[in-house]
Structure 1
Amino acid sequence: MKITSVTAVPIRARRHTPMVATQGSIDVSEFGVVRVDTDEGLTGWGEIAMSWGRVGRALCRDVELTLGPTVNGLDPRDLPRCAAAMEQRLPLPMDGGHAARAGVEMALLDVAGKAAGLPAYQLLGGRARDTVPVAWPIPWGTVEATVAAAEEAVAAGFPTVKLKIGRAGRLDETVVAAVRAAVGDDIAIKVDANMAYRSANQALAALRPLERHGLQLIEQPLPPRDLDELARLRDRLETPLLLDESCWELRDVGEIVRRGAGDVLNVYVTEMGGPAQAVKAFAAGEAAGLVGLLGSQCELGLATAACAHVGVVVSNLAYESDVVGPLRYVRDIVHEPPVIAGGVLVPPDRPGLGVEVDPEAIEAMRC
């Protein structure tokens, strides 16, 4: 089997409510849909999902002008060979290049699964669990709005809520205290600073008061390359430190381990360059005794399916993941997104990624 064509279409997906955090506010996601065709008539689909920096239209051009010609003529079932070719042409540190590569790799995995008649999780190593536990992320908002969102999440069966922090003054502490009082002690609360602080001392002053209310995890309080400062902070916190922006490619895992900068890895399928690359990142962490969870760019149904397949495969998934994107949007690009209910994400059992694209939706959302 040979790849004959790789194309990408940019789309805009409107969210029910904006995501507001340190980086800004997003009410519409500009993503991309990748299509891989083969000489045997099989078609695979992938999704470009990146919320910041270079997004849909620019990354679709990366696919059509650089990545597509690179893998054209290769066998889509040879994922390592295709991934190596894309790595050589578009290295991960390129702004957004990881998401473009991830969209192509998803489509290749979709084709490979369809050719074998197997769901993607079987090609990635087989299941370690049946479902992926998930949390409900809550953006910046008033105390009252945040408490209401947390209560709705608990009522929907989510065992963990994730609160965005990083605001000046004592507002973060007030919000965390109010949410804890509202949801009780049986619901886990994790907080995400999105690199809001500039030093370990500043972060410690802001985070210590929050720890009094019982936190599950503290996510990325400092800039991504401040690993030594993160290590200093980690030694002084009681709560495990979750690294997100510091963990965007496979080599980052080695640096985190070498410097003792974190306790938990936040691995994104989109940021690692695809499902197979994400599985490698989890394995690298496991070899060093680290656990992880799956991060999210608020993906639509295609990429959420890819995340679900990764999540049931990796053995060191230790906390609830953030992959609940399809619940955030007015319309999806697949007919039936993966099921998210009762605090878990369920991987489709059909061959490949296991979801069917909706051509009318893609055309309507095209930008």
Structure 2
Amino acid sequence: MGLKIRRIQTELLDIPIKRPHQFSTEKIDQKGFVLVRLDLSSDIQGIGEGTTPGIWWNGESVETMKLVIDQYIAPLLVGEDPRYIDQLLQKLDRHIRQNSFAKAAVEMALYDALGKYYQVPVHQLLGGACHRSLNVRWALASGTVQGDIEEGKQLVDQGHYQVFKIKSGKEAPEDDVERSINIAHGLSGTSTIGIDPNGSWSRLIAKTSMEELNEAGIDFLEQPLPPEDYEGLSELVDMKKVPIMADESVCSIYDAYHLAQLKGADIFSLKIHKFGGMHKTLKVGAVAESSGISCFGGTSLESSIGTAACLQVFSCIRSLDYGTEIFGPDWLADDIVTKPLRPANSKLYLPDEPGLGVELKEEKVKQYRRQNEASWYSTTKPS
């Protein structure tokens, strides 16, 4: 009997964060995760996680991810040979539309299990690393101008981070632009800054602000317009003032191809969860490289499990010109692995251990397990 996927289990966790985090639509003080354990017939267990900035981002939540994995993904995969990853991912796409975050969580556990089975780090299964370390920038999202400036200066003084991204989009667009520029001026000479309005600006606001943003030293403008406005993004790129990064506008290899054809981005923000896993992230990276588009390693604010997966795949992306923002473990007040992955001097280093390179700390899993949920959900295909 060959190697098989024996069991897939999930559980929901809520982990506190160090300080409230302001998105364009909501403020949070803890982060939800769905933890995935995938057992092989060889008694090897792989781990993965699903998480999202919020249900506002793409319609998925950790609760929907858990339901989709338990009821739909697990029955399709249990009993299958885990070594045929591309075939398994195609099978999931044929049977389950969308739900990329749920698929990515399971694929993460699958790659971790295979890396442990072959005794190699995941990046070797993906083709091998181009980078042994990755630059990391921190997101400024305290909710106030002075709070963001003070936080940025403190992190620079402590030697933790040198580059930042401003989370914006909460206020009226005109006020949002002014706020972002004030923060950039407050950190001028200290670091470089990007801005992310999460698609909340209009074409008019974005166009009339480009000169000011350029003068303030903004090094990229991430997703200023609604995700569907490819033509508007293309017009901003044509202005050649501030590099335009696409995030919500590029959620699949087909989006990447379309946006590249329209010259609608200077930079793609790559995220494992929005693409449906590491395998597809590599494909989007290839589209970017072949189109002369730079890449940025984005985050869904993962724990050390998801951050390890990001490290593995982003290390294989040659055109990662803008570094990453995979600061999740440093943003959380606690973690669920034995050795959390936290940046040192704005860098994260690629683990050499088999699989993702992280191990669960079971007492922490128990501590943060959602209390009103059953501890285990498993689906096992009869032999």
Q: Same-fold call, TM > 0.5?
A: yes
1:142 has 2:123 as partner:
no
The match for 1:113 is 115
The match for 2:68 is 62
1:192 has 2:189 as partner:
no
1:276 has 2:279 as partner:
yes
Structure 1 unaligned residues grouped into runs of 5+? none
CA distance in 1, matches of 2:247, 2:241: 19
CA distance in 2, matches of 1:196, 1:173: 11
CA distance in 1, matches of 2:249, 2:18: 29
Q: Residue 327 of structure 1: which of 325, 330, 336 is its match?
A: 330
Q: Residue 82 of structure 1: which of 81, 88, 93 is its match?
A: 88
CA distance in 2, matches of 1:313, 1:202: 36
Question: 1:174 deviation in Å?
Answer: 4.8
CA contact (8 A) 2:299 2:325 kept: yes
1:234 has 2:240 as partner:
no
CA distance in 1, matches of 2:287, 2:174: 38
Once the two structures are superposed, residues 202-241 of structure 1 have per-residue CA deviations (whole angstroms, 9 ceiling, x without a partner) of 2223443222111110000111111011111222250110
TM-score, scaled to structure 2:
0.90
Structure 2 unaligned residues grouped into runs of 5+? 371-383
The match for 2:8 is 6
| Inter-CA distance 152–77: structure 2 relative to 1 (3 Å threshold) | farther
| Inter-CA distance 169–8: structure 2 relative to 1 (3 Å threshold) | closer
Once the two structures are superposed, residues 124-177 of structure 1 have per-residue CA deviations (whole angstroms, 9 ceiling, x without a partner) of 111111111110111152221111011123223423111123333764455444
CA distance in 2, matches of 1:148, 1:73: 53
CA contact (8 A) 1:110 1:353 kept: yes
Once the two structures are superposed, residues 264-290 of structure 1 have per-residue CA deviations (whole angstroms, 9 ceiling, x without a partner) of 000101111111211111111111111
Once the two structures are superposed, residues 60-91 of structure 1 have per-residue CA deviations (whole angstroms, 9 ceiling, x without a partner) of 11111111111111122221112111111222
State the percentage of identical aligned residues: 27
Q: CA RMSD in A?
A: 1.7
Question: Pairwise mapping of residues 266-345 of structure 1 onto structure 2 (< 5 A)?
Answer: 266-345=269-348
Q: Secondary structure at the match of 2:107?
A: helix
The match for 2:379 is none
Question: Pairwise mapping of residues 198-217 of structure 1 onto structure 2 (< 5 A)?
Answer: 198=202, 200-217=203-220
**Worse-matched range after superposition: 39-48 or 203-212:** 203-212
TM-score, scaled to structure 1:
0.94
Number of residue pairs matched by the alignment: 362
Letter of the structure 2 residue corresponding to residue 60 of structure 1: K
Letter of the structure 2 residue corresponding to residue 75 of structure 1: D
Question: 1:181 deviation in Å?
Answer: 4.2
Higher relative contact order (CA 8 A, sep 6+): 2
CA distance in 1, matches of 2:130, 2:13: 34
The match for 2:381 is none
Question: Pairwise mapping of residues 256-271 of structure 1 onto structure 2 (< 5 A)?
Answer: 256-271=259-274
| Inter-CA distance 101–247: structure 2 relative to 1 (3 Å threshold) | same
Once the two structures are superposed, residues 14-47 of structure 1 have per-residue CA deviations (whole angstroms, 9 ceiling, x without a partner) of 1111221312212221210001111111110000
Letter of the structure 2 residue corresponding to residue 91 of structure 1: R
CA contact (8 A) 1:143 1:174 kept: no
CA distance in 2, matches of 1:106, 1:362: 18
Question: Pairwise mapping of residues 168-179 of structure 1 onto structure 2 (< 5 A)?
Answer: 168=172, 171-179=175-183
Question: 1:57 deviation in Å?
Answer: 2.1
CA contact (8 A) 1:3 1:75 kept: yes
The match for 1:133 is 135
Q: Secondary structure at the match of 1:146?
A: helix
Question: Pairwise mapping of residues 148-187 of structure 1 onto structure 2 (< 5 A)?
Answer: 148-155=150-157, 156-166=159-169, 167-168=171-172, 171-185=175-189, 187=191
The match for 2:380 is none
1:225 has 2:231 as partner:
no
**Worse-matched range after superposition: 299-308 or 77-86:** 77-86
